[in-house]
Amino acid sequence: MIKKFRFVIFFTFTLLLTACAGKTPASVPVSYLDYVPVKPYAESEHQQELVSGKAVSDYFKDEKIFAGWNLGNTLDSHSGGFGGETSWGNPQVNQELMNGVKAAGFDIVRIPVTWMGSIDIAPDYRVASARLKRVAEVAEMANNAGLKAIINLHHDGANNGRADLGWLSIGRAGRNKSANELITTQFARLWQQIALYFRNHGEWLIFEGFNELHDGNWQTCNDFFQLTVLNTWNQLFVDTVRSSGGNNESRYLMVNAYCADNRQALASGFTIPTDSAEGRLILSFHYYAPYEMTINGSRSSWGTDSEKQRVDSDFAPFKERFINKNIPVIIGECGAVLQLYPNDKSRETQARQSRFDYVSHVFSTAKKYGLVPVYWDNGATTGNGEKFGLFDRKTGKPNSPDSEALISQMINAVKINL
């Protein structure tokens, strides 16, 4: 009886989505794309830039995009429900930082952005013009330095366990039809505005639909409802951007699986959106394995043959599944924290070498299979939190000789034979 009841719920949910969508559950109702705001949304005065018209796989090859860096804990920072820039201790972004990232050898910068607190009420969910303008300023600093750039919706989907910190809650959307409709509407309105504001920017600017969406269980998800919502949101993101005109008709767009997890990206529950523009989609996943060394900082040793083989095993499937089909793959976040042991210099030395070996191996293995690794830098080098910082955020210089050496190893790992 329980199995039959669950099947009825499953089937009913599928019919509801399909009835709204057309051929597949991931299709997007036309009403989302045709929305006309009560008052016209903001448009920038940015002049339309010329674009090459290349498929993204060719663009990456021709532009030699091999390694990237994250501007973490900056425009994605938030406090009291408001996305900011300096909320988590980093200074305002300046041109010197972007110049330094480029000079260090990176090709692309991911600019995480948290929009909550800058979004007005229904029905328009109007984004504050100051927020759009500042995101544009930072992205253009990257372009001025010669970097490609990625902007996204970042901690708008954040949560702490089952407690939602952001409005883009895939857990609530998966559990409740009315919540799903409300969140999906807001998601569509937000991307409608971002796409409109940036539609004249060149192909150097890539959009990413969202960050690590999950319900508090992180990488594990076998929930049909949430997976269906995620696929629908990815499709809605693509269709909304394409319908906004300008350079967005062919802009390169990046999509994530559940929690941006590499295993979820290969799972049957994830589908790449359909796209009216051929060859313009990028797949992304994040990679922090093993967690105890990369994020938690409780493990100081790494580098056995089996540990190195795991990275190969995790990355290899993406070449056949996506890259060989001309869908580039970006590792949107990866890296390992700085571990300090003031009272145990032997362990600190071991942790330092393990960090160097790990990051270099991740970057070289990514290059081996054609993936583009993007290092996660949150600006932190002290305290009890995650110490991923590599650059002085004011000068754009490496923040220590060790950071300079680690950056050099990363870049050499992907560019040594160029």
Q: Which residues are catalytic?
A: 212, 333
Measured from the Cβ of residue 208, the count of other Cβ atoms closer than 10 Å reads 24
HEC assignment per residue over the chain? CHHHHHHHHHHHHHHHHHHHHCCCCCCCCHHHHCCCCCCCCCCCCCCCCCCCCCCHHHHHHHCCCCCEEECCCCCCCEECCEECCCCCCCCCCCHHHHHHHHHCCCCEEEECCCCCCCECCCCCCCECHHHHHHHHHHHHHHHHCCCEEEEECCHHHCEECCEECCCCCHHHHHHCHHHHHHHHHHHHHHHHHHHHHCCCCCCCEEEECCCCCCCCCCCCCCCHHHHHHHHHHHHHHHHHHHCCCHHHHCCCEEEEEEEEEHHHHHCCCCCCCCCCCCCCEEEEEEECCCHHHHCCCCCCCCCCHHHHHHHHHHHHHHHHHCHHHCCCEEEEEECCCCCCCCCCHHHHHHHHHHHHHHHHHHHHHHHHHCCEEEECCCCCCCCCCCCCCCECCCCCCECCHHHHHHHHHHHHHHHCCC
